[in-house]
Amino acid sequence: MNYSTQMDAAKKGIITKEMEIVAKKEKVRVEDLMELVSQGKVAIPANKNHLSIDPEGIGKGLRTKINVNLGISKDCCNIEMELEKVKKAIEMKAEAIMDLSCFGKTQEFRQRLIHMSPAMIGTVPMYDAVGFYDKELKDLTAEDLFRVVETHAKDGVDFMTIHAGMNRETAEIFKRNPRLTNIVSRGGSLLYAWMELNNKENPFYEQYDRLLDICEKYDVTISLGDACRPGSIADSTDPSQIKELMTLGELTKRAWERNVQIMIEGPGHMALNEIEANMVLEKKLCYDAPFYVLGPIVTDVAPGYDHITSAIGGAIAATYGADFLCYVTPAEHLRLPDLEDMKEGIIATKIAAHAADIAKGIKGARDWDNKMSKARKELDWEGMFNLAIDEEKARRYRKSSMPEDEHTCTMCGKMCAVRNMNKVMEGKNINILREDD
């Protein structure tokens, strides 16, 4: 039987090779996975033209996935440096990479990225449009925007952030309900500005069926962007955010009718006590579609440490329903991240994702922790390093401060609880001040 997309195949009862790969990774029955894909509760972003992809599933009952943002800008236009980041992200097993390039002719970088990456690739075509045509924002036409989308799809992009929920109605809600930080989504602000400058409706909303045509043709997953995501904790869960979310729910159902896979993007900055409710609200209003969140960043006062503020929010968000975490680096709000910033962002986000998987009861999630605990009990340092989420840092810290007794560390030395409990449980004497017998 023929099928157009992963969702179309699932509805027809066809098990694709991508479903088989994902089911094996997730340790779930492929038939159960197929049912979730058919319902839209799991997405498998896998463009037909992305030949190097190692597919992943995002959604209900699956491991929380992470995304790494990178790409060139006008101030930092070093393609080779960004490709080094790509290599590091792949090495660190990030499941997705978003190319957020927003300057110049980006197609060369995007095509090289897709060719070399087993991770799924995402883009925001709106970022590319100004440079693609060398036109000012006001002068772009709807035709221009759809041509960029088709170019990205043809190149092999697996998912695209499209801010289709920023329509005239949402814009009016925003105007009537002033915010502390206005619209902080780059793509959302560009579309809002385009609408205002041209006094027109958002083309991606107005011609949504045309967008679905492109995505169905190449099996591109639409990541419905949150133009009104809060940029400060003061703006979270406000009328603009909720109105847009309601619109995204309507667009989700229309996409599923066309067998186009959907993810929903979410906040943003948000106080800890609002996160759970927002996750429940998204799942309710968007019919349990996979939820992709940036953070949430739980306080606004930690520039230089936003990988931590984001990881705190991300762990809570994923515990209560988020399926996909976009990493945040220490450079957030300050500069384009360098290689070390990227690594710190990946580690922090992986910790958040894994902590949430434990809380959600994802199959096999605790096994990793139990193996680490066993290695600690046995003072098996090599085992601990091999299991560490960041093996290089663990080895470096250990090597930088070696204890007198090689089985312990310089925190406790021979007063090490693990060492002494092992000895006493084995009926052995404990020598703390002297050499062992």
Q: Is 327 annotated as a binding-site member? A: no
Q: Is 320 annotated as a binding-site member? A: no
CA angle 326, 226, 203 (to 5 degrees): 130
Q: Is 76 annotated as a binding-site member? A: no
Q: Is 115 annotated as a binding-site member? A: no
Q: Is 236 annotated as a binding-site member? A: no
Q: Is 333 annotated as a binding-site member? A: yes
Q: Is 279 annotated as a binding-site member? A: no
Q: Is 307 annotated as a binding-site member? A: no
Q: Is 185 annotated as a binding-site member? A: yes
Q: Is 147 annotated as a binding-site member? A: no
Q: What 3 state SS string does 71-93 have?
A: CCCCCCCCHHHHHHHHHHHHHCC
Q: Is 269 annotated as a binding-site member? A: yes
Q: Is 400 annotated as a binding-site member? A: no
Q: Is 186 annotated as a binding-site member? A: yes
**DSSP letter string over 353-372?**
HHHHHHHHT-TTHHHHHHHH
Q: Is 226 annotated as a binding-site member? A: yes
Q: Is 265 annotated as a binding-site member? A: yes
Does residue 6 contact residue 16 with C-beta atoms inside 8 Å?
Answer: yes
Q: Is 331 annotated as a binding-site member? A: no
**C-alpha–C-alpha distance, residues 35 and 50, integer Å:** 24
40-43 contact pairs (CB < 8 A, 24+): 40/7, 40/252, 40/256, 40/261, 40/262, 40/287, 40/288, 40/289, 41/288, 41/289, 41/290, 42/290, 43/6, 43/159, 43/221, 43/261, 43/262, 43/263, 43/289, 43/290
Q: Is 390 annotated as a binding-site member? A: no
Q: Is 69 annotated as a binding-site member? A: yes
Residue numbers in the known binding site for Zn(2+) are 269, 333
Residue numbers in the known binding site for [4Fe-4S] cluster are 409, 412, 416
Residue numbers in the known binding site for substrate are 69, 98, 127, 163, 185-187, 226-229, 265, 292
Residue numbers in the known binding site are 69, 98, 127, 163, 185-187, 226-229, 265, 269, 292, 333, 409, 412, 416
